[in-house]
Amino acid sequence: RAGSHWCYQNQVKPSNYTCLGPDQWGDSCQNDRQSPINIATAKTLLDTNLGPFSFSGYDKKQKWAVQNNGHSVMVLLGDEASIAGGGLAARYRAKQLHLHWSKVLDWGSEHSFDGDRFAMEMHVVHEKEKGTSRNTNQNQDPKDEIAVLAFMVEAGSKNVNFQPLVQALSDIPNPNMNTMLKDNISLFDLLPKKQKLRHYFRYLGSLTTPGCDEKVVWTVFQEPIQLHKDQILAFSQKLYYDNEKKLKMTDNVRPLQPRGQRQVLRS
């Protein structure tokens, strides 16, 4: 219905059908270059231009601000870090990171590899740096305005570097709550080991949340992050979609979208 807010499928019925589930999302969400997709690894094309990333400011340890935005938990990165290389056409500033997850440990990632889904997926969202050349023939709606670095998360050994974020979840159970991490962590602390970041998939797609703008250059890394099962389950246990704490925040995962004619590249 017009004016209703967007939500994930598991929120539709509990909201008494007042919110719009994924098949009713508006804006660009019903177009044909959407995300997430299943990555059929055998059909990916090796692209030698997809070299290593250069990460700037990813080593800086900070007590980041963290918020429950009603759809995910979001760490606000305040333009402190940026990426270049990795086959990208420009430098991109890091804006925020957030995650998607389920309490079912093989159903919580948005992308999948050959039909395999992971417990969670972490997205580090970057925006293209504005060139200095004004009103040249800069494309006004480029397909790569946003660069998301996507990392799968699987259940395994305890990841001490994630503890500040896991512990912060207890401070922000309700939408629009904010807190600060109690310990300094860097973006590198949250990622797989640096030498594992050379292998990734690349394709052009969209935001996986409304308005689903088709302006995202996706990088999906092959190496998963490992968290202990209890660290993963904390996201579904501590966070709520609603102020009345009636509906735990879980399965905040958009259904797979058709790949269409898009070629998925691999580094």
Ligand X SMILES: Nc1nc(-c2ccc(Cl)c(S(N)(=O)=O)c2)cs1
What is the footprint of Zn ion within residues 7-36 (CB under 5 A)?
none
What is the footprint of Zn ion within residues 94-123 (CB under 5 A)?
123
Query: Among residues 71 and 135, whose Cβ is nearest to Zn ion?
Result: 71
What is the nearest approach in angstroms of ligand X to the Cβ of residue 186?
A: 20
What is the footprint of Zn ion within residues 123-152 (CB under 5 A)?
123
Residue 125 sits in the site that holds ligand X (CB under 6 A): yes
CA nearest to 112, candidates 220, 232, 198: 220
Question: Catalytic residue numbers?
Answer: 71
Q: How many residues bind ligand X (CB under 6 A)?
A: 12
Query: Among residues 206 and 267, whose Cβ is nearest to ligand X?
Result: 206
Residue 148 sits in the site that holds ligand X (CB under 6 A): yes
Query: Among residues 46 and 175, whose Cβ is nearest to ligand X?
Result: 175
- On whether the CB atoms of residues 94 and 207 are closer than 8 A, the answer is no
Residue 202 sits in the site that holds ligand X (CB under 6 A): no
Structure tokens at 30: 């019903």
- Given Zn ion, ligand X, none, residue 109, with its beta carbon under 5 to 8 Å by kind, binds none
Query: Among residues 12 and 163, whose Cβ is nearest to ligand X?
Result: 12
What is the nearest approach in angstroms of ligand X to the Cβ of residue 210?
A: 9
Site string for ligand X, 65-104 (x = CB under 6 A): ----x-xx-------------------------x------
CA nearest to 5, candidates 175, 205, 216, 215: 175
Residues near Zn ion (CB under 5 A): 123
